[in-house]
Structure 1
Amino acid sequence: MNKHLLIVGGGYVGLYTAMRLQRRLRRELRDGDVHITIIDPQSYMTYQPFLPEAAAGNLSPRHMVAPLRRILPKVNILNGTVTKVDHAAREVTFQPSEGGARKISYDLIVMAAGSISRTLPIPGLTDIGIGFKTVGEAIALRNRVLHLLDVAESTDDPEVRRRALTFVVVGAGFAGVEALAELEDMAKHSTRYYRNIRPADIRWVLVEASNRVLPEVGPEMGRWTLEQLRERGIDVRLETRLDSCSGGHVKLSDGTEFHADTLVWTAGVKPSPVVNDSDLPLDERGRIKATALLTVAGTRDAFTAGDAAGVPDVTNPGQYCAPNAQHAVRQAKALADNIIRYLRGQELVQYRHKYVGSVAGLGLHQGVANVYGVKLRGLPAWLMHRTYHLSRVPTLNRKVRVVVDWTLALFFKRETISLGEMEHPREGFRAAVATNRR
């Protein structure tokens, strides 16, 4: 057989597909009949639902990532990006993290490149904006919030203080609401260590273009979440857009203007740019056109799933599967099984999974859930949120480490230290060199 399977992307779909193939194709991998390669910029998979908890200090960032090489010892891991896919020639252009680009040939390809933040041409967005899709962004945001509390405590300028203590989140989906709720909870907890900052001094603004928050949990639970956020003093602006934030001067479409040093952008995602640099068919939303079999429509030897793919939802004709972790993990299982069937000349099976609902964390001991029509809020929803995501974290090693972090958090207070210098480790040394030159 001697087939080379190339997986573009080491996220949910890439990792879980490779894990299942590694387990079910042991003999073929051992005998060299099948070779599997994953290409991803990172050497790990990030379990993104835990980003808010990492930002709040409830989880160590090392425990929410899965090291690809440790989990996939029979898979070749290459770190870098795919800049072009030429499926007609069965090859991709691979740009490694260091060095020149090269061509890599394959027999079968899995396009699982995921998504990136979808931004808009808003003036000043890069001045104070930060995304919330990676571990680096989550930890940088945590450091920034705590650093700005230090700034506000140490200044006697009311304008600097007001600006430092104003935080804006754009987008009221899962990422935005969970990030805001966890960070607001952390900041409020941190004020007990400051002499001149009270929880009421910190302003949180949530900006959402639609008329509701957390649409994934349904209208009733969304309204309850909105009430909870407002009861916590969070300024929620629905049916409002961010018009500008140049130099930290925030302008909203409802006419509101104020200054802020921090803006978190979570207003949607779009497929990875590599899908545009391929000869694979795309749908009207710029995603790879997929079939319910998780193959690329009208194309041989090509499979796809996850955020970069438009996978038809056979349980809801005319609709597509939502771009979330629940579908990605289950698609990966079906995808791996179909690849095995494809290699063995068997008939492929459609991906079929009815969406069971959603859970969201709203800070320590607070959550909201709508699962199989059962609606929960508060502590029960928070426990369900943690239980569900713990069950989905890959490998027993990661699960145990997460549980240990949570257990320690029950007995010890959260750390409220900004380690922002970690983002610029050479600055101190450069300053010392400059001083010595004088």
Structure 2
Amino acid sequence: MRTFGRGSRTKTPLPLAPARIVAVGGGFGGFHALRRLQKLLEPERVSLTLVAPTDYLLYSPLLPEVATGVLDPRDIAVSIRQTLRRTRTVLGHVSSIDFGERTLRVEGRDGITEVEWDKLILAPGSVTRQFDIPGVAENAHGLKTLSEATFIRNHVLAQLDAADSLPDTPAGRAERIERLTVVAVGAGYTGTEFVAQMQNWVKGIATRWASIDPSDVRWLLVDLAPAVLPELGDKLGKEAMDVLTARGVEIRLEVSVASATATSVTLTDGTVVPSRTLVWGAGVAPSPLIAKLDLPTEKGRLVVEPDMTVPGVPNVWAIGDAAAVPDLALDASKPTPPTAQHAQRQGVQVAKNVAASLGVGESKPYFHKDLGLVADLGGFDGVAKPLGIPLKGPVAKFVARSYHLYALPTAAARVRVATDWLYSTILPTRVVNLDQVRAEDALIAKAQGQ
């Protein structure tokens, strides 16, 4: 008998050759699955491989703070190679999977690689949900990748800089309105936090411009839903709406985008909004990989059992935004929501279940009671519902930031984020347009492939 990990004892005999465990996707699910497997199973028992388009875990809930320059992009990009030291990383996108031969095809920058597996964890995550709306794919920018967040920040700065120097002529005034109008689609977490934090940020750096007052910038938040932040309930949703409205943000509910061009957005109620900035945060859709697998799906998400195994396909598990994992804690007939909170915890549980398939430990169904939801509205404002307790204002802001520090996967990331938050409180805001991301690389259609 040998001892391994944090006090765990592995009595199962070692195999003749290590089992090849492959995880597809380096988001919360795949990252935490491999991290836990490193603790549960010896190197002699398994070899671990991650297939992902990037070599970092992106802590996406803090992307709005990257867009406002409060956080450096590297603060929320956790190095996979440094954290998962026993895991081999293959960079690229999975284009196909052969379940019979237990191989998958990876298309990367350096060509095509074939990866063999004995146990497969599918955690490819999600992409920004697209709709067949004229002009959106060509003109809208999402907020789901570092490239998008960095571009949006630089783009907004560039629009305001250009507006500041326009001549006071009819043509100049018309162009000024376009450049000073920001339209955000989606009043969920992404859209609401983006508008709230970006509006607060622009107000704080208004001295950058000679002829622009913060009130000159028009912020428009639109959504087909009847409420802002519906996940938090009517009371907190109204609180968030009141905060934004008091700051001058226009909120148009039960309306969406009918079409878009480079200089305007037409809403479904016929309103034409002159704007050169369209940010798309209207939900997410499962990774396009799922549609290629020819397996049963539920609203695009892969159907799985409560223990996250894929029915009819031995030695395959699926988790996260791309899997319809039954929500046993709330309603087993519905899948868990596509949140980082569930993906992370599914990753931990699937690691235990994969280990159990190798004779180590016991497999169990996924069960997690939601810890609650938080939304940072910039400044000292926030709304939160930890463990079902509604909070607002500075207290909610504190809870939101505390939760993010808790959820960040490494101590180094926590220190960097906390330090930047401290600097943003006591030092002048950083206002530099580095212009490092091409506009075409931050379009929704382009970002889906990152």
Asked if 1:301 is matched to 2:315, the reply is yes
Give a deviation string over 1:73-111, Cα, whole Å, max 9, x none: 110001111000111221111112222x23221101000
Q: Is the 8 A contact 1:169 1:206 kept in 2?
A: yes
Gapped runs of 5+ residues in structure 2? 1-14, 440-450
More divergent stretch after superposition (305-314 vs 295-304): 295-304
| 1:346 positional shift | 5.4
Q: How many residues align?
A: 418
Q: Aligned residue for 1:61? A: 73
Asked if 1:359 is matched to 2:374, the reply is yes
Output the amino acid matched with 1:3: A
| 1:127 positional shift | 3.7
In the aligned structure 2, how far is the partner of 1:87 from the partner of 1:243?
41
Q: Is the 8 A contact 1:90 1:106 kept in 2?
A: yes
Q: Is the 8 A contact 2:150 2:437 kept in 1?
A: no
Q: Is the 8 A contact 1:124 1:248 kept in 2?
A: no
Asked if 1:283 is matched to 2:294, the reply is no
Q: Aligned residue for 2:397? A: 382
In the aligned structure 2, how far is the partner of 1:373 from the partner of 1:15?
28
Give a deviation string over 1:231-278, Cα, whole Å, max 9, x none: 111110100010011232211112211210010001111111111222
The one of 190, 194, 200 equivalent to 1:179 is 194
In the aligned structure 2, how far is the partner of 1:407 from the partner of 1:224?
26
| 1:220 positional shift | 0.9
Output the amino acid matched with 1:297: P
In the aligned structure 2, how far is the partner of 1:106 from the partner of 1:172?
41
TM-score (norm 2): 0.90
Q: Is the 8 A contact 1:9 1:40 kept in 2?
A: yes
In the aligned structure 1, how far is the partner of 2:270 from the partner of 2:291?
37
Asked if 1:20 is matched to 2:39, the reply is no
Q: Aligned residue for 1:223? A: 238
In the aligned structure 2, how far is the partner of 1:374 from the partner of 1:112?
31
Q: Aligned residues: percent identity?
A: 36
The one of 125, 139, 143 equivalent to 1:132 is 143
Give a deviation string over 1:125-165, Cα, whole Å, max 9, x none: 13431011001100110011111110111111101111000
In the aligned structure 2, how far is the partner of 1:183 from the partner of 1:293?
41
| 1:228 positional shift | 1.4
Give a deviation string over 1:151-186, Cα, whole Å, max 9, x none: 111111101111000000001111111111111111
Output the amino acid matched with 1:57: G
Give a deviation string over 1:317-364, Cα, whole Å, max 9, x none: 312101001111111111111111111165411111112221000012
| 1:410 positional shift | 2.0
Secondary structure in structure 2 of the residue aligned to 1:113:
coil
In the aligned structure 2, how far is the partner of 1:346 from the partner of 1:64?
33
In the aligned structure 1, how far is the partner of 2:375 from the partner of 2:231?
9
Q: Is the 8 A contact 1:9 1:114 kept in 2?
A: yes
The one of 280, 297, 310 equivalent to 2:324 is 310
| 1:424 positional shift | 5.0
Q: Quickly say closer, same or farther: Cα 1:268–1:424, change in 2 above 3 A.
A: closer
Output the amino acid matched with 1:361: D
The one of 38, 48, 54 equivalent to 2:60 is 48
In the aligned structure 2, how far is the partner of 1:271 from the partner of 1:246?
27
The one of 69, 73, 89 equivalent to 2:85 is 73
Task: Write the mapping of 1:330-345 to structure 2, written as runs, cut at 5 A.
Answer: 330-344=345-359
Output the amino acid matched with 1:408: Y
Secondary structure in structure 2 of the residue aligned to 1:110:
strand
Output the amino acid matched with 1:398: A
Secondary structure in structure 2 of the residue aligned to 1:318:
strand
Secondary structure in structure 2 of the residue aligned to 1:236:
strand
In the aligned structure 1, how far is the partner of 2:131 from the partner of 2:143?
16
In the aligned structure 1, how far is the partner of 2:163 from the partner of 2:393?
32
The one of 364, 383, 387 equivalent to 1:368 is 383
| 1:401 positional shift | 1.1
TM-score (norm 1): 0.93
Give a deviation string over 1:360-401, Cα, whole Å, max 9, x none: 000122110112221111111011000001101011111111
In the aligned structure 2, how far is the partner of 1:3 from the partner of 1:248?
55
Output the amino acid matched with 2:380: H
In the aligned structure 2, how far is the partner of 1:395 from the partner of 1:84?
32
Q: Is the 8 A contact 1:127 1:248 kept in 2?
A: no
Secondary structure in structure 1 of the residue aligned to 2:332:
coil
In the aligned structure 2, how far is the partner of 1:401 from the partner of 1:373?
30
Gapped runs of 5+ residues in structure 1? 426-438
Secondary structure in structure 2 of the residue aligned to 1:83:
strand
Secondary structure in structure 2 of the residue aligned to 1:88:
coil
| 1:60 positional shift | 1.0
In the aligned structure 1, how far is the partner of 2:22 from the partner of 2:365?
22
Task: Write the mapping of 1:87-102 to structure 2, written as runs, cut at 5 A.
Answer: 87-99=99-111, 101-102=112-113
Q: Aligned residue for 2:166? A: 155
Secondary structure in structure 1 of the residue aligned to 2:335:
coil
Task: Write the mapping of 1:216-295 to structure 2, written as runs, cut at 5 A.
Answer: 216-279=231-294, 281-295=295-309
Q: Is the 8 A contact 1:145 1:187 kept in 2?
A: no
From the two aligned structures, give the one with the greater helix fraction. 1
Give a deviation string over 1:290-320, Cα, whole Å, max 9, x none: 1111111232100111000000011223121
Secondary structure in structure 1 of the residue aligned to 2:430:
coil
Secondary structure in structure 1 of the residue aligned to 2:355:
helix
Q: Aligned residue for 1:82? A: 94
| 1:192 positional shift | 2.3
Secondary structure in structure 2 of the residue aligned to 1:317:
strand
In the aligned structure 1, how far is the partner of 2:305 from the partner of 2:98?
20
Q: Aligned residue for 1:397? A: 412
Q: Is the 8 A contact 2:151 2:438 kept in 1?
A: no
The one of 46, 57, 60 equivalent to 1:34 is 46
Task: Write the mapping of 1:424-435 to structure 2, written as runs, cut at 5 A.
Answer: none
Secondary structure in structure 1 of the residue aligned to 2:239:
helix
| 1:190 positional shift | 1.8
In the aligned structure 1, how far is the partner of 2:261 from the partner of 2:160?
22
Q: Quickly say closer, same or farther: Cα 1:330–1:207, change in 2 above 3 A.
A: same
